[in-house]
Amino acid sequence: MDAVDRSRHIAGLGTPAQAWLDDPALAQVPAVGLDALVPEGRRAVVVAPHPDDEILSCGGLLHLLELHRRPFVVAAVTDGEGSHAGSAEWPVERLRATRPQETLGALDSLGIAAPQVVRLRVPDGGVTAAEEALARRLAGLLAPGDVVVTTWRYDGHPDHEATARACAAAARAAGAALLEVPVWGWHWSAPGDGAIPFAQARKLPLPPALVARKRAAMACFRSQLTEDASTGALPIVFPQALERLLNPYELYLHEPRPTEPATAF
pLDDT digits over 66-119, tens only?
999 999 999 999 999 999 999 999 999 999 999 999 999 999 999 999 999 999
% helix, strand, coil for the chain, step of 5: 40, 15, 50
Tell me: domain 52-254, CATH 3.40.50.10320, correct?
A: yes
Q: What is the dihedral of CA 127, 132, 137, 142, to 10 degrees?
A: 110
Closest CA to 256 of 202, 181, 200: 200
What pLDDT, on a 0 to 100 scale, did the predictor assign at position 256? 58
Confidence (pLDDT) at 168: 98
pLDDT score at 259: 43
* Cα–Cα dist 232/152, whole Å: 30
Domain boundaries defined on the chain: 52-254
Distance CA 144, CA 138 (A): 13
Q: Specify the pLDDT at position 261.
A: 40
For residue 255, what pLDDT is reported?
A: 76
pLDDT tens digits, the chain, 265 residues: what are they?
A: 333 345 788 989 999 999 999 999 999 999 999 999 999 999 999 999 999 999 999 999 999 999 999 999 999 999 999 999 999 999 999 999 999 999 999 999 999 999 999 999 999 999 999 999 999 999 999 999 999 999 999 999 999 999 999 999 999 999 999 999 999 999 999 999 999 999 999 999 999 999 999 999 999 999 999 999 999 999 999 999 999 999 999 999 997 554 444 333 5
Residue-level pLDDT at 9: 84
Please report the pLDDT score of residue 5 as a whole number. Answer: 40
Task: Please give the model's pTM, rounded to 2 decimal places.
Answer: 0.93
3-state SS class at 40: coil
| Amino acid identity for residue 232 in this structure | G
What pLDDT score does 7 carry? 74
Partnered with residue 73 across adjacent β-strands are 45
Torsion of CA 200, 206, 212, 215, to 10 degrees: -10
- The predicted structure's pLDDT at residue 260: 43
